Amino acid sequence: MDFGVTGKLGGYYLVEQYQKNAAGKSEGVSFAELAATKAAGKTENVSFKEMLESKYPGAYYNVMDTSKIDSSLWGRNDYPWDKYFSNNVDDSVLNWKPSGAEPDMQSPAVRAKMNAMLGKIAVVIPPELEEKMKNNTELAQKVMERVDSFLLANSTPGENEGFLMTFDENGEINHACVVGELKFTVSSSEFVEARRAREAKHAEYERLAEEAALKRRLMEQETDDRYYKDSMTKKAVSITAYEAAGILK
């Protein structure tokens, strides 16, 4: 599934809707404080966690080794996505294994799990990424933008939804889950590969366009050079002819 930004939901509307659905209040910095800090050139003192909690009060934030998540199990109906909606997730969830056949999505247990995620946001960051972001405000802001983009691309106006996303050590989303009263979507690292393929295709397009522009410039230069040489040759011939006729003597 493509989790790119579709622009179907405005950022301010998204924040407002989430804040209406979120339970509890954030203890992080406010939007005004963030803006003032940025204006004062002190964004290095604002952590990613503070950015997240300020923008999405009540969002769950955990630091865990997301590389341990089994992508082949992430899409099962009985995968415990709901366990990530806590501020103290047990690491054992990373090693979860099914105990039997996959249940139907409409089974009471699966529906109860999905309902428990509605109106909530959970973000999981690996220790390596958190450490990088402590000393790199720009990276922290980029990761925050990816959270925003994911929510923008996968939110439906007026619908109560829940969002779970985990990141790899490079700040890219490697697993995701979106639940709603009328929908259920999970995806793993394959959508990251799809996005990278699109980026590679775009980079190749830009490379070809640059090569084409360079070829045009070279052709124009060659045309100018030929015109100059032809002009000089004609001028030399004219001078020789004039000299032969005694005009320039």
The pLDDT-based confidence of 229 (bands split at 50, 70, 90) is: confident
| pTM exceeds 0.75 | no
Residue 83: is its pLDDT beyond 70? yes
Residue 54: is its pLDDT beyond 80? yes
Positive or negative: CA dihedral 22, 24, 56, 33: positive
Residue 235: is its pLDDT beyond 60? yes
Instruction: Report the pLDDT value the prediction gives residue 147, as an integer from 0 to 100.
Output: 94
**Least confident among 24-38, 133-147, 191-205:** 24-38
Interhelix angle 137-154/11-21, rounded to 10 degrees, is: 80
